[in-house]
Amino acid sequence: MSNVTRKHTALPKAQILIEALPWLTRHNGKTVVIKFGGNAMIDEELKAAFAQDVVFLRHAGLNVVVVHGGGPQISAALDKHGIVSEFKAGLRVTTEDAMDVVRMVLAGQVQRELVGLLNQHGPLAVGLTGEDAHTITATKHRPEIDGELVDIGRVGEITAIDTGAIEALLADGRIPVVSSIARSQDDGHVYNVNADTAAAALAAALGAETLMVLTDVEGLYEDWPNSDEVISRLTASQLEKLLPELSSGMVPKMEGCLHAVRGGVNTARVIDGRVQHSILLEIFTDEGIGTMVVADEKPDAQPQAQSHAQGEPS
């Protein structure tokens, strides 16, 4: 291949990199928390592409924190142990025996695998659970179902986040990979925390710019399961109104997005983790793919928007 031909074939690649510049400039030095859902870990190729995207962001100057799920992997392991999986209010009913399995699968299998994939690109990833260095502290969670508080075992409600260990890792150029297990603040147990909830709490506590939640749907469907119309953007207040209508896995996910945005995170996004390089796709589309949750418009911005609408010809 001649030098001229080489230049011609490389030019579109340079243009593609330049298209990412505004996003990368905006995010340089900022923190992004990426939640990789167990349902999005479909095959080896997808997991490898996820690791490439995360490492790319890290090398592009972002502080990346990975929080991983593993719901289907836990259910499969519980099944092998003859323990039936049951969910209430979108959360796994976690007996003491089940908790051992949850911890083994999340910290011993899923987290180890992701750390391994990331570290194929260099000495970057360090795995930890919420138990380490008091990163996540919880107390027993009793969700309210039909007006009654129910006991769902060793499921934790986050009471405190200590970002010290994660921040030290980020300052050292590492990629923390966090399993959603919490230490107890009062009874010496460990608790199972939904990974969306953990990711959102960490994003808020870290003052992250963005929370990205990778799952197995395109985003939040407007009228699930009847239609596949994805809501592309909604404000915190709009989401709050929608919450009571949501079901199953979307409940902790969207509650988490709301918590993150109300806690100061600029945008929380639910994106389709089944699409290869879905994280990088976000960089190249201004509005992003999937569903984006943003803070409510500032009060002083509203009158302007209203007067503009009023002034329009009917």
Ligand X SMILES: CC(=O)N[C@@H](CCC(=O)OP(=O)(O)O)C(=O)O
Ligand Y SMILES: Nc1ncnc2c1ncn2[C@@H]1O[C@H](COP(=O)(O)OP(=O)(O)O)[C@@H](O)[C@H]1O
- Mark 192-223 as b/e (b = at least 16 C-beta within 10 Å): bbbbbbbbbbbbbbbebbbbbbbbebbbbbee
40 binds ligand Y (CB under 6 A): yes
Based on CB atoms, which residue is closest to ligand X, 27 or 156?
156
Active site residue 290: no
Closest CA to 195 of 300, 40, 84: 40
> What is the Cα–Cα distance from 290 to 153, expressed in whole angstroms?
34
Based on CB atoms, which residue is closest to ligand Y, 131 or 218?
218
- Which does residue 23 bind out of ligand X, ligand Y, none, counting CB within 5 to 8 angstroms by kind? none
Helix-then-strand count for the chain, H and E: 12, 16
Q: Which stretch binds ligand Y (CB under 6 A): 9-17, 53-61, 115-123, 217-225?
A: 217-225
Residue by residue, DSSP assigns 206-235 as HT-SEEEEEESSSS-BTTTTT--PBP-EEE
92 is in an annotated binding site: yes
Based on CB atoms, which residue is closest to ligand X, 195 or 246?
195
- Which does residue 199 bind out of ligand Y, ligand X, none, counting CB within 5 to 8 angstroms by kind? none
> What is the Cα–Cα distance from 206 to 134, expressed in whole angstroms?
14
Q: Which stretch binds ligand Y (CB under 6 A): 78-86, 178-186, 209-217, 256-264?
A: 209-217
Confirm if 32 and 207 have CB atoms less than 8 A apart: no
> What is the Cα–Cα distance from 212 to 261, expressed in whole angstroms?
12
Active site residue 35: yes
Based on CB atoms, which residue is closest to ligand Y, 31 or 39?
39
224 binds ligand Y (CB under 6 A): yes
**Candidate residues 121, 221, 277, 281; the one interacting with ligand Y per rule CB under 6 A:** 221
| Active-site residue identified among 130, 196, 256, 288 | 196
192 is in an annotated binding site: yes
| Active-site residue identified among 37, 38, 249, 288 | 38
Backbone angles phi, psi at 38, to 5 degrees: -60, -35
217 binds ligand Y (CB under 6 A): yes
Q: Where in the sequence numbering do the catalytic residues fall?
A: 35, 38, 71, 196, 253
